[in-house]
Amino acid sequence: VSNTVGIIGAGNIGQAIAKIAVRAGRQVVIANSRGPESLTDVVAALGDGASAGTFDDAAAAPIVVLAVPWDRVGDAVAGRSWDGRIVVDTTNPLKLTITDGVPEVSMIDVGGRVTTEIVAEQLPGARVVKAGNTLPAARLGEDPSQEGGRRIIFVSGDDDEAKAAVASLFDDAGFRAIDLGDVAASRLQQVPDGVFPGRTFVEVGEAGE
Ligand SMILES: NC(=O)c1ccc[n+]([C@@H]2O[C@H](COP(=O)([O-])OP(=O)(O)OC[C@H]3O[C@@H](n4cnc5c(N)ncnc54)[C@H](OP(=O)(O)O)[C@@H]3O)[C@@H](O)[C@H]2O)c1
């Protein structure tokens, strides 16, 4: 169990992080709102190490990745104990609406707040780490070896042990995780105003060289 990453949400980002966790040699339990039987193709594509589970299966892992739309977070996490659990918040405050087949993305007003704090408030006791929200899912899921270096992924949050565990997950998959600081620092990762969203960074050479 200690080697397991639970993923809540099996869409673009959930699948990208699942790929990363498999690449890092972790066991993955991935869940959506429709149940494990709907994820047969998804886990087959992920390969060895990945399985579909219920929400409870995924939420029981020592590291839980929250990869649901912003307006579903409350529903997805309500009424559970998150005490001490490491939760990776990949969300952005966006809403996708499809009108006559035409998709449109709009911002959700968060009143100038740090979005990670809004998510953390819904997960009492959880050790929340912001990560994986600044790149499009397809890019996040790519091989992190790029341009002769390693793709950078930013982590932030108030719990150092939780950040280290999440950083190891990404590092073991070939990324270079960089700790930005506490939860307030996650504003740098935040959509729409942060400086990091949409930008791809690569560290060339090894740190300390
Ligand atoms: N797409 C990107 O490139 C990207 C980039 C950075 C950050 N993000 C952020 O990542 C999050 C996920 O985005 P996405 O594009 O991956 O969304 P998506 O493709 O629409 O997938 C959302 C997933 O969440 C599941 N879900 C919804 N409500 C749930 C609930 N109550 N309990 C359990 N699972 C639930 C859905 O399951 P069902 O299908 O069964 O309903 C689906 O598997 C969003 O907050 C988004 O802002 C996305």
Mean pLDDT by 10-residue block, N- to C-terminus, for the chain (209 residues)?
Answer: 90 98 98 98 97 96 97 93 96 96 95 98 97 97 94 98 98 98 98 96 76
Q: To 10 degrees, the CA torsion angle through 57, 139, 190, 23?
A: 40
Question: What is the residue with the minimal CA distance to atom 6 of ligand 1?
Answer: 133
Terminal-residue alpha carbon distance, the chain:
36
Question: What is the residue with the minimal CA distance to atom 45 of ligand 1?
Answer: 91
CA distance 65 to 130: 10
Cα four-point dihedral sign 30, 32, 38, 42: negative
CA distance 107 to 95: 6
CA of 148 to the centre of ligand 1 (A): 32
Question: What is the residue with the minimal CA distance to atom 44 of ligand 1?
Answer: 69
Q: Which atom of ligand 1 approaches the CA of 73 most closely? A: 31
What integer pLDDT is reported at residue 2 of this predicted model? 74
CB 137 less than 6 A from any atom of ligand 1: yes
CA of 90 to the centre of ligand 1 (A): 9
| pTM of the entire predicted model | 0.96
What integer pLDDT is reported at residue 93 of this predicted model? 98
Query: DSSP character for 109?
Result: P
What integer pLDDT is reported at residue 116 of this predicted model? 98
CA distance 156 to 159: 9
Say if strands 127-130 and 202-204 run parallel, antiparallel, or are unpaired: unpaired
CA of 144 to the centre of ligand 1 (A): 22
| CA nearest neighbour of 163 among 191, 130, 198, 117 | 130
CA distance 199 to 202: 10
Residue 54 identity (one-letter amino acid): T
